[in-house]
Structure 1
Amino acid sequence: MNPADVRKPVSVAKAKKAISDYKKALGQPEGLAELAVFYCEEAFNLLTWRGVEDESFYDALVRMFEQALKYVLALPQGQQVAFWVRLEQVRHQGQNIGWGVGEDFDQLWADAGLAAGASTPPG
């Protein structure tokens, strides 16, 4: 997502295609979870040095956060904990960027059965 040359545009499509290609080639649940969570983390890394005024960027981020939650929930519980910690950090970062991202993240988090501030699913 972060181009080597900062003059080149950010390509959400290329980042999403890489995940899609992985899913078709290997599709291992832990790898999908890693890629989706990493995508979200990198989106926030991008935002620390480059503003993005494109609603589609934020919509794609919310959709990837939702996918990340689904991929992590599909993992055995012992493999989930590290991902929940990372996703909680992403969710927290989303509270400060506007575009409704924080609210969407909170709703998706709750829909996944996670309590606010919790980094493990219930029961």
Structure 2
Amino acid sequence: MKIKIADLKKQLKTYEQKELIELIVEMFKSNKDVQNYLSSKFLGDVVIDELFQQAQKKINNEFFPDRGHGKLWLAEAKKEITAFKKATNDEKRTVHLMLFYVEMGVEFTNAYGDIDEQFYSSMVKMFDQVAMECDRDEELYKVFSNRLENVLNKADGTGWWFHEPLEEIYYTIEWVHDEDDDEEEEDVGED
């Protein structure tokens, strides 16, 4: 059973400042997520960069560890993305990690052949989340457009009809159509 936010606020209002500080320090000592959140909140970009690098390394490690073969514990890789997002609230780097996850999946299937439906489904769902974020923010799309296109190109020819849903998702991004229209206008102008 969890305390409701209204009740939590009511309880916290009864605490003296010193008691609140002690409570926060206890939480900090006992919970890694709280440590990451408060560190990023108070120390800023230096900590966010470090958390980003750690998350990227852990995601990569699930696919291509320094030694041995990737374990493909996709839930662990996705957990790193979620933990980073909660700790930092950094949208751009979170989308970067999400796309990195898909890129590693595509690279893995190209290196080792067909995997299984669950693997491809996970990649497609994550790619869909990236596409939705890019569709909402043109600047974000511009940052990741080349990488999105590279995922499509590298996924072409893989198994389980992996490429087709990625391509469908890619073309749901409004800004892709705008680029296509611009290219068509340039081609017509050259004739």
What's the TM-score once normalised by structure 1's chain length? Answer: 0.79
Task: Give the whole-Å Cα distance in 1 for the aligned partners of 2:88 and 2:121.
Answer: 26
**1:90 to 1:18, Cα distance in 2 relative to 1, 3 A:** same
Partner of residue 166 from structure 2, selected from 95, 99, 105: 105
| Percent identity of paired positions between Structure 1 and Structure 2 | 26
Task: Give the whole-Å Cα distance in 2 for the aligned partners of 1:22 and 1:74.
Answer: 21
Question: For this pair of structures, how many residues does the alignment match?
Answer: 117
Show CA shifts across 1:20-61 (max 9, x none). 111211122101111111111111222233234221110000
RMSD of aligned alpha carbons: 2.3
User: Does 2:151 match 1:90?
Assistant: yes
Deviates more, 1:100-109 or 1:47-56: 47-56
What's the TM-score once normalised by structure 2's chain length? Answer: 0.54
Q: How far off its partner does 1:15 sit?
A: 0.9
Q: Match for residue 6 of structure 1? A: 68
Partner of residue 88 from structure 2, selected from 10, 18, 26: 26
Give unmatched runs, 5+ long, in structure 2: 1-61, 183-191
Partner of residue 17 from structure 1, selected from 59, 64, 79: 79
Q: Is the 8 A contact 1:30 1:72 kept in 2?
A: no
Q: Is the 8 A contact 1:95 1:102 kept in 2?
A: yes
Task: Give the whole-Å Cα distance in 1 for the aligned partners of 2:165 and 2:150.
Answer: 15
Higher relative contact order (CA 8 A, sep 6+): 1
Q: Is the 8 A contact 2:110 2:158 kept in 1?
A: no
User: Does 2:111 match 1:49?
Assistant: yes
Give unmatched runs, 5+ long, in structure 1: none
Q: Match for residue 101 of structure 2? A: 39
